A and B are shown apart, each in its own frame.
Chain A
């Protein structure tokens, strides 16, 4: 499934509840056949369902009562008060071979208030479980308002979420192996199933990661890449911007016990070093203008190597490759080993190539 969702009005400014954005995404990834008529926040005329193939995700629930059981018609609730309306929307999809469920959660994000205003945004997280009432276990890091505990500038934290301002375009691509959301020319977040590993088989856990880089132009510097685990709603702020989190594989001393989440530091834990094409650090190809690093296409993988876990290969399970930024325009196609992939512009940091069907 591939839905190109276009915001023709400012959806992060408060005139339309930001929860409506999450509901729209939820509808298209859970529908048998997604249509633009399902949309209540994004434009029904400008948005396009490019590939209506059933995405294969199921709706699990929400902490918003009206959206428990199913996503209700119309727009979502308005954020009005701290804590009480931090609406989430929870989804699941089975992993291949085992059928174990991976969970994806759409969350409200706001850097400086719980009310609907210009700082509204959304974040996508993974989790080890979720209930019909939106109760979530071992959720990956996410970012939203911090009260007095946050000492930085608003501007520095805004790139931690997607903000659907007027004119922005979101590419929602999903099949049963992944849910990927790309904000055109800004960033990417995804819940990506990986190939199974001996660790996952041993622990009987679903192999997947949460990848978060909602502003691909911002790479964390050394020592600033720690991700913050979500906790009480008024104290959590994600510190930095590009993270990958695996679920269930990490238990520092007792790896035989299931039920923990790996919070991955940038350094040494993910594929960060493969992403920095903008710096031309992997100059093993040369284009017609004798410029290095122009046409590199690299597989996506994750390894919690510092803790001794096997590489979790994502490419091959999820149809995705990294590319340099600006390889082309979104929608351009690239053939890899005989398969046609679509290029998506994820911003200045890098791009991805994906297929949109099953």
Chain B
């Protein structure tokens, strides 16, 4: 999938990339009581959240060229 397709997959909402495992992301989100949806592409974890994102060095916003 391209970055554009990943963003489309998540309904053109703000998508984050997590530099860790899906299990680590789950632990992090549960510790912060944040609902989230994730997608794994080429072993890279992408996700969106239901609440404001928490600060964590493993999280960065995914931006596609030309994407809103």
Contacts and interface: CB of A to CB of B under 8 A. Distances in A.
A253 B10 contact: no
B35 interface: yes
A261 B41 contact: no
B43 A138 contact: no
Nearest to A140: B37
B40 A254 contact: yes
A228 B11 contact: yes
A205 to B, nearest CB: 13
A231 B22 contact: no
A232 B13 CA distance: 8
B60 interface: no
Interface in A116-144: 131, 133-139, 141
B53 to A, nearest CB: 9
B48 A254 contact: no
Interface in B24-68: 26, 29-30, 33-43, 48-52
A233 B52 CA distance: 10
A259 interface: yes
A230 B50 contact: yes
A47 interface: no
A136 B13 contact: no
A227 B8 CA distance: 10
Contact of A231 (B30, B39, B42, B48): B48
Nearest to B6: A252
A229 B10 contact: yes
A247 B53 CA distance: 24
Given A139-B35, A230-B50, A231-B48, A259 B11 contact: no
A257 B42 CA distance: 10
Contacts of B30: 131, 135
A226 B9 CA distance: 9
Contacts of A33: none
Contacts of A231: 10-11, 13-14, 37, 48-50
A246 interface: no
Contacts of B1: 252-253
A331 to B, nearest CB: 38
Nearest to A136: B35
A248 to B, nearest CB: 11
A232 B50 contact: yes
Contacts of B12: 228
Max chain B C-beta neighbours (<10 A), residue from A134, A137, A263: A137
B38 A135 contact: no
B26 A137 contact: yes
Max chain B C-beta neighbours (<10 A), residue from A83, A231, A236, A251: A231
A138 B48 contact: no
Nearest to A230: B50
Contacts of B50: 136, 139, 230-233
A329 interface: no
Interface in A259-302: 259-261, 263
Nearest to A260: B39
A235 interface: yes
Contacts of A258: 22
Interface of A: 83, 131, 133-139, 141, 226-233, 235-236, 239, 251-254, 257-261, 263
Interface of B: 1, 8-14, 22, 26, 29-30, 33-43, 48-52
24 contacts: A135-B30, A135-B33, A136-B35, A137-B26, A137-B35, A226-B8, A227-B11, A228-B13, A229-B11, A230-B37, A231-B13, A231-B14, A231-B49, A232-B13, A235-B14, A236-B11, A251-B39, A251-B41, A252-B1, A252-B39, A254-B43, A259-B38, A259-B40, A261-B38
Given A135-B34, A137-B37, 8 more contacts: A134-B35, A135-B30, A227-B11, A228-B13, A229-B11, A229-B37, A253-B1, A254-B43
